[in-house]
Amino acid sequence: MLAGQVDGDFSSTLKADKTCLTAWPDVGDTQWGGSTCLAMKWSSLCGRNFIKYMSAWDDQAAATNPAWMSERLLERRPISASLDNNVTVTTAWLDDHDVAADSEKAGRIIPYELGDRPEVYLLGKAPDNTTSDYFLCSMKASITTSCTTRYNASSGGQSLEAVCDDTNGKHSDGSAIQPLRSTGDRTALVGWRDLGFNLLNSLSLNNGVFDGDASTARIFTQLQLTEPKLNKTLPSPAEALLSMTTCTVLDLTQNFPFQPFGNITANDFSTPQTQHFNASVRVAQYMSGGSETYQKALLVVLALTLLINIFILIYFAVLLRIKLITDLCEPLVLFVLGYHSPPSDGLFEGRWGVKGEGPLKRDMAVEWIVKRRGEGLVVVGMGERDGEVEGEGMGRGRGEGGWFRMRRRGGGRGDGDGEEGSPEGLRA
């Protein structure tokens, strides 16, 4: 059992044009301002729904011959619309119509009607003299309790789907919540006729014989049936018209009561009230790790990996007493060393830091090496690799301080003034 706030009944649709003005500038049109506001709002929302519905019938879809491209109404693609621009609403067909049988009985093509008590009629004819016949569509909006709704929220988005009874009056969905049925099923939505008429006007579907070459009217009339059966690759005019008008019903019924047509009057909604409704909630949770028993064996591998890493950390940090050292191969480190090093023989000698001149092209050909100076490191030319760096005493002998070379356990200094080995170090 869930609860929600409701604020309106079926007569509140008459107030829709007035509530639209709360988000509309006052242009001084007291007579038609509300209906104009509502028509503009719906023409934008419904127009997008119509474009999305028509794009699903493209040639690429027809080439794959999907199952919903059928001559049977209940198998055809359902109408969808957008609620609050972020929830996709999918409708369901309530009745089945055999176009061939109905047309043969009437002696003319009868696709189907949108309701058993029409409220708004639309008469049209295909353009360019493709046929001499006219088609007539009738529309109405009503409330039914033969359906439940399924709402889904996931990382992929939100959706709202109508799940309705099948042709035998049985609920086609296996959910725990069944529809609430009442004797007043399919009660007409009061006042929708005038609002729907304004919508058709805003979509230029009421130009009559003074055709203004409106794009929507042209596309809509091109869907006229020429045979007593539904076109597999194109929607019928009734389906197209429904895709244009579904957004109006969604907009009008957002605050409707959950309870079906009980002892509810307009006075009951002078202030918002809370109503309860039956619902079932299904939650999908995700966890890391295996869901099967045999998959738990991976935990042993993960535990061993952790222990091995801990052992290696202790071995290097404690037993070998390794300390962090500076990587002299890093270009930034070498740049800083060179910047703070004094001029040396053949390496920026006489210019760098003296006359304010930068390095010349010929300086780039000089080989250099990183050499230890006291407790620090400097960059010198290769000509001074075995001599002393400027500023060091001369009494220490050749090689005293040495040049830098890598040792197994970190950086170190050369061996005294002995003659063993050849110089090693970082050079370029």
Both 119 and 235 in one domain: the answer is: yes
For 361-393, the DSSP string reads GGGGGS-EEEEEETTEEEEEEGGGSSSPPTTS-
For 17-38, the DSSP string reads HHHGGGGS---S-TTTHHHHHH
Distance CA 53, CA 374 (A): 80
Specify if 423 maps to a domain: no
Specify if 94 maps to a domain: yes
Q: Residue 185, exposed/middle/buried by CB under 10 A (0-12, 13-18, 19+)?
A: middle
Count Cα atoms within 13 angstroms, Cβ side, for 89. Answer: 19
Backbone angles phi, psi at 128, to 5 degrees: 60, 30
pLDDT digits (tens, 9 = 90+) for 341-397: 777 666 666 555 455 566 667 767 778 888 887 778 888 877 666 655 444 443 343
The residue type of 197 is F
Is 411 a residue whose pLDDT tops 50?
A: no
Both 240 and 303 in one domain: the answer is: no
Please check whether residue 189 is in contact with residue 144, taking contact to mean a CB–CB distance below 8 angstroms.
Answer: no
Is 102 a residue whose pLDDT tops 60?
A: yes
Beta-ladder partners of 165: 171
Both 70 and 191 in one domain: the answer is: yes
Which residues, 6+ apart, have CB-to-CB distance to 356 below 8 Å?
Answer: none
3-state secondary structure of 45: helix
Distance CA 4, CA 258 (A): 9
pLDDT digits (tens, 9 = 90+) for 242-264: 998 888 888 877 777 777 655 55
Specify if 172 maps to a domain: yes
The band of 403, judged by pLDDT with boundaries at 50, 70 and 90, is very low
Residue 426's pLDDT is what? 47
Specify if 418 maps to a domain: no
Both 118 and 158 in one domain: the answer is: yes
Distance CA 168, CA 179 (A): 14
Is 185 a residue whose pLDDT tops 80?
A: no
pLDDT digits (tens, 9 = 90+) for 39-81: 888 888 888 889 999 999 988 888 898 999 999 988 999 999 8
Residue 210's pLDDT is what? 57
- Indicate the number of domains in the chain: 3
The band of 28, judged by pLDDT with boundaries at 50, 70 and 90, is confident
What number is the average pLDDT over the span 316-339?
78
Both 223 and 338 in one domain: the answer is: no
Q: Say what percent of the chain tops pLDDT 90.
A: 11
Distance CA 115, CA 141 (A): 8
Residue bearing the bigger pLDDT, 130 or 427: 130
Specify if 421 maps to a domain: no
pTM of the model: 0.61
Residue 415's pLDDT is what? 42
Both 336 and 318 in one domain: the answer is: no
pLDDT digits (tens, 9 = 90+) for 268-287: 666 778 888 888 888 877 76
pLDDT digits (tens, 9 = 90+) for 77-101: 999 988 888 899 998 887 788 888 8
The band of 23, judged by pLDDT with boundaries at 50, 70 and 90, is confident
Nearest by Cα to 164 from 151, 142, 180: 180
3-state secondary structure of 171: strand
3-state secondary structure of 187: strand
Q: Which residue has the tokens 């007579």?
A: 31
Specify if 211 maps to a domain: yes
The residue type of 147 is C
Specify if 71 maps to a domain: yes
Both 210 and 119 in one domain: the answer is: yes
Both 149 and 83 in one domain: the answer is: yes
Nearest by Cα to 281 from 397, 376, 176, 356: 176
> What tokens were used for 371?
């050499």
Both 200 and 87 in one domain: the answer is: yes
* Phi-psi group of 107: left, alpha or beta (phi > 0 → left; psi -120 to 50 → alpha; rest → beta): left
| Interior/surface letters 355-375, b for 16+ CB within 10 angstroms, e for the rest | eeeeeeeebeebebbbbbbee
Residue 322's pLDDT is what? 65
Both 311 and 337 in one domain: the answer is: no
Nearest by Cα to 200 from 241, 247, 251, 240: 241
Helices (H), 7-150: 16-19, 33-55, 59-64, 99-106
Distance CA 76, CA 384 (A): 88
The band of 402, judged by pLDDT with boundaries at 50, 70 and 90, is very low
Count Cα atoms within 13 angstroms, Cβ side, for 232. Answer: 10
Both 258 and 303 in one domain: the answer is: no
The band of 203, judged by pLDDT with boundaries at 50, 70 and 90, is confident
Across the chain, mean pLDDT equals: 75
Both 186 and 294 in one domain: the answer is: no
Q: Which domain covers residue 299, as residue numbers?
A: 289-322
Specify if 160 maps to a domain: yes
Q: Say what percent of the chain tops pLDDT 70.
A: 69
Is 413 a residue whose pLDDT tops 70?
A: no
Please check whether residue 161 is in contact with residue 90, taking contact to mean a CB–CB distance below 8 angstroms.
Answer: yes
> What tokens were used for 218?
């042209």
Residue 409's pLDDT is what? 36
